[in-house]
Amino acid sequence: MTLFTKAARPLAALLTAALFSATPAPGATDLPSSGPIGVQICARPNDAVREYAGVIEQTRKEQPELAEALRLFPKGADLHNHLSGTVAAEKYLALGAADGVCYGPEGKTGRYTLEPGTSTGGCGDGFRPVSGASPAEQDGILQSLSMYRFGYPDIQAGHDHFFATFARFRAVSDNACDTPLMLAEVLRQSHRDGVSYLETMLSFQSSAVSALARQLRQKFPEQAFYRDSRQFPAMQRFLLDAGMSDTVVAARTEIAQYVNKTRSLLNCDRPDAEGACRVSYAFVATVNRTSALGDGTPDLAKVFTQAAFSTLLSSAENRVVGVNLLSKEDAPVSLTGFQDQMRIFGYFHQSFPKVNIALHAGELTPCFVGAGNPALKEHLTGTLKAGSRRIGHGVSFAFLKEEEKSEVADIIRRNNALVEIMFTSNAQILGIAGAAHPFTQYRAYGVPVAFASDDEGVSHANLTDEWIYGVRKYGLTRDDLQYLGRNSLQYSFMPGSPLWADVAKEKPVEACSGDTPGSVTVTERCGSFLRQSAKAAAQWEYEARLKEYWRNYGKFFGKMSLRGLPLP
């Protein structure tokens, strides 16, 4: 396992009973109900999940050899991965039991939530130890912490339940002692899914960063300060004087502890090392776009502080390779604060131009923000203008006018940016799949794309499902699969120059133009280039894995074409 400077749980098999017995809500139509921006209710049935789950289930049932071949396919990098959301709900149950965590009702939602045990080892009122939960109660907890057996009565319900799960397992996921255990599980799942490099999102030193944000808010109390970039240098200096550098040092110590403990858990320094040790990985520091004050208005002081800390950490720590802005994009506070957030990110992009930025953007549909809402386009263009090199989701692209699509696609190409595609969570959260998904539209506009997992623990799915769906729904060919895998490494934040001058044309950089990527022997010039670039070296190794894979499975894919699959 190199650190750069969950068991497979088929989605459809778990959802079948809940999904296919569901019926549309009375009075539901094909159109979302109208309402004010930010409080839109998406009342139509989530047919996207039913269709998506059906494709996965049918493939695993009728073509298990294909499903297994796609699991083994070298997928390159998983670039959009939330550590806490990737851990399986079953694992959180086990960790919670070991930690003395308690479970109890979450208000009147009918769901369970977890909370830490008391200082005396007991549980608060109405809560009981997770370790003592009955099988039926364990099942209820699993349903509360993930999309396991969720019925999807409508799109809004799936959206709300998905985002609600994170707070319910926070008693475990926020425990720093559990982070190495979580990371080990995520690396095991990545290895099972054929991933060779992982970038996983995580927040560091959250309490200390929140304390710095409170100090900044006291010093600069007016929202106007955070809307005037001329004030930003003074605010940045204030945070440094208040001890932000010390917080970065503490985070680096924390990261080293996570890394060393994870290596130990996976036996990476022993002869019996787990296969997960061969998955290289790095961290992406996070900023929360839904940070809000007591009155519901954007907490720009916290966003500024998190952005300042994350960029400073990434510039100082080579194991933190970038920064991401995450959380619910259609929340009122996110919509209201978007321009201010982009102004903040734009400032730090100028201050730290070598720090990589990859932002969630376009995880929106008219269902949630209203038809014709400028946010459908502006969240894409604004993100790119703020310095983002990758866009997470980008679903709103499908709802733009043709001239708007051309404009957005042109900016993406000019910025040499990538769109991260996540079919599972897009179906579960947004009710978007199949022809409604912009995947094929991006490709038609020449926009680079790659598959990613997002929150496979919450989704109760795995990364291989994304590839199965791509092959079966969109008829992806052998060349398509290679292109997607190559893109994931090309647009990763691994250090060094990339191997490919043009991925789509399979054109390597000049230094290796006379060599065959993936070959055992290389020219002196190409070898020198590979030694100086961790990214290019990883890409070269990936080409070798592809060659081996096609030797073993190329004929198999040819046979599969007789059952309706495209012939490579």
CA distance 320 to 330: 27
DSSP character string of 207-219: HHHHHHHHHHHHH
Number of H helices, E strands in the chain: 24, 13
- The 8-class DSSP code of residue 422 comes to -
Question: What pLDDT is recorded for position 557?
Answer: 72
Mean pLDDT of successive 10-residue stretches along the chain, which has 568 residues: 47 38 30 38 91 96 94 98 98 97 95 94 94 97 98 96 98 97 98 98 98 98 95 98 98 98 97 97 98 96 98 98 97 97 98 97 97 97 98 98 98 98 98 97 98 98 97 93 97 98 97 96 97 98 97 74 41
Question: What pLDDT is recorded for position 367?
Answer: 95
Domain ranges in the chain are 508-568
CA-based nearest residue to 447, from 492, 506, 487: 487
Instruction: State residue 527 phi and psi, 5-degree precision.
Output: -60, -40
Question: What pLDDT is recorded for position 560?
Answer: 57
CA distance 459 to 456: 5
| Whether the model pTM is above 0.85 | yes
CA distance 343 to 382: 9
- Please enumerate in sequence order all residues whose Cβ is within 8 A of that of 468, keeping only pairs 6 or more positions apart, or say none: 55, 56, 59, 60, 66, 67, 70
Question: What does the H/E/C string look like for 474-539?
Answer: HCCCHHHHHHHHHHHHHCCCCCCCCCEEECCCCEECHHHCCCCCCCCCCCHHHHHHHHHCHHHHHH
CA distance 285 to 222: 27
Largest CA distance in the chain: 70
CA-based nearest residue to 76, from 544, 510, 566: 544
Question: What pLDDT is recorded for position 119?
Answer: 86
CA-based nearest residue to 75, from 467, 497, 424: 467
